[in-house]
Amino acid sequence: MKRMTSLERVLTTLGHQEPDRIPVFLLLTMHGAKELGMSIEEYFSKGSQVAEGQLRMREKFGHDCYYPFFYASIETQAMGGKVIFRPDGPPNAGEPILQPSTISRFQPPKVEDSPQLIEVLESIRLIKERDATAPIIAVAISPFSLPVMQMGFENFIDLIMEDRSMFWELMEKNIAFSTDWANAQLAAGATAICYFDPVSSPTVIPRELFLETGYPIAQRMVKAINGPMAAHLASGRSQEIALDFSGIGAAVLGASMDDNLVELKEACRGQMTILGALNGVAMRGWDQKTTEQEVQACIQKAGSGGGFILSDNHGEIPWQVPDEVLHHIVRAAEKWGRYPLKGVT
């Protein structure tokens, strides 16, 4: 089989056919700062810098996507929140911007009025101008998971359990914002939206509660987003709700290291592509042998018949993962991920 471009490889996989090899998504955010010799805070201040970092990293490692995701709290930053930067990890949200008593007065910002979100759109546009051979994966935080940063986890869970009317009032506002934000990124040139929704995971809430809350929200978002959506639960288990996401039309589902990858692949075969499930935290200390073993194991469990993209299980590779490990991941995928797969029937 002739060697495919990254975009061809991914599209073939999404069509549940076998491409030339398993696609590899190195979901690198902060590593671009290292590449450009900048602090994380300085790096994320300009979309042009993030675009350059993404382009250089793909050239360096040879993986199959661009990932112009800045940081999760950029959305609450656009709403007036503070961001806490650190030198060796992802930026975090500062103090909550909402209380239950302020939800009725809350008005989400327009994307075009946010300097931070405009920089994200600029990074997407610049990448698209430079290279159309690989998919650009943009990110929107689920309206259902966004309140963890807006008001804090405990306050949000209390809101769900004690004031469902006010909960849905906040959800309506978040859905409007998240839809506009996702579609703005697609209009700028993104190929697909990664819909980060960790609160929906059975790791966080029971499936019964998800079906009352996160599920109808995700159902609406799939219909409102003008492009393919990948549901990602950010290290949370997805196996118990895989068919729920499949039923609403999600194209991709993130797999946790806590999921049974064999069973998850069988549940999603022919319906959704699985993305994962390398342990990003553990990979900080992997050597070449361990890396190859981990990559090989994932591929043998989920690679047959297409429908699998090798990646980390959280959606963001830690700052502390060395370049050597990233090179080893791609090389191991080249070795073990070529179709027909070795040792897989």
Mean pLDDT by 10 residues, the chain (345 residues): 94 98 98 98 98 98 98 98 97 97 97 98 98 98 98 97 98 98 98 98 98 98 98 97 97 97 97 97 98 98 97 98 98 97 77
CATH of the domain at 50: 3.20.20.210
**Residue partners of 331: CB distance under 8 A and separation at least 6:** none
Nearest to 24 by CA among 342, 338, 340: 338
- Dig out the tokens for 121 from the structure: 């759109």
Whether the bond into 277 is cis, omega within 30 of 0: yes
- Distance, in Å, from the CA atom of 137 to the CA atom of 10, rounded to the nearest integer, reads 12
Within a domain: residue 1? no
Give the 3-state secondary structure of residue 309: strand
Report how far Cα 162 is from the mean position of its chain's Cα atoms: 30
| Residue matched to tokens 């503070």 | 82
Within a domain: residue 120? yes
- Distance, in Å, from the CA atom of 258 to the CA atom of 181, rounded to the nearest integer, reads 30
Torsion angles phi and psi, residue 135, rounded to 5 = -65, 150
Annotate 167-216 with DSSP letters as a single string.
HHHHHHHHHHHHHHHHHHHHHHT-SEEEEE-GGGSTTTS-HHHHHHTHHH
**Residue partners of 258: CB distance under 8 A and separation at least 6:** 203, 235, 237
The pTM for the full model equals 0.97
Residue 345 is predicted with a pLDDT of: 57
Residue 343 is predicted with a pLDDT of: 74
Other beta carbons within 10 angstroms of residue 11's beta carbon come to 16
Name the domain count of the chain.
1
Ranges of H-type helices in the chain: 6-14, 31-36, 40-43, 47-61, 74-78, 115-130, 147-151, 153-162, 164-188, 207-212, 214-224, 242-248, 261-268, 288-302, 323-336
8 A C-beta contact, residue 239 and residue 203: no
Give the 3-state secondary structure of residue 134: coil
Give the 3-state secondary structure of residue 303: coil
- Distance, in Å, from the CA atom of 340 to the CA atom of 328, rounded to the nearest integer, reads 21
Within a domain: residue 345? no
- Paired sense of beta strands 137-141 and 89-93, if any: unpaired
Within a domain: residue 341? no
- Distance, in Å, from the CA atom of 276 to the CA atom of 254, rounded to the nearest integer, reads 6
Q: How many CA atoms lie within 13 A of 53 on its CB side?
A: 29
Residue 189 is predicted with a pLDDT of: 98
- Dig out the tokens for 44 from the structure: 């994320």
Going from the C-alpha of 345 to that of each of 198, 320, 340, the distances in angstroms are: 34, 36, 9
- Distance, in Å, from the CA atom of 341 to the CA atom of 94, rounded to the nearest integer, reads 46
Domain boundaries, position 180: 6-336
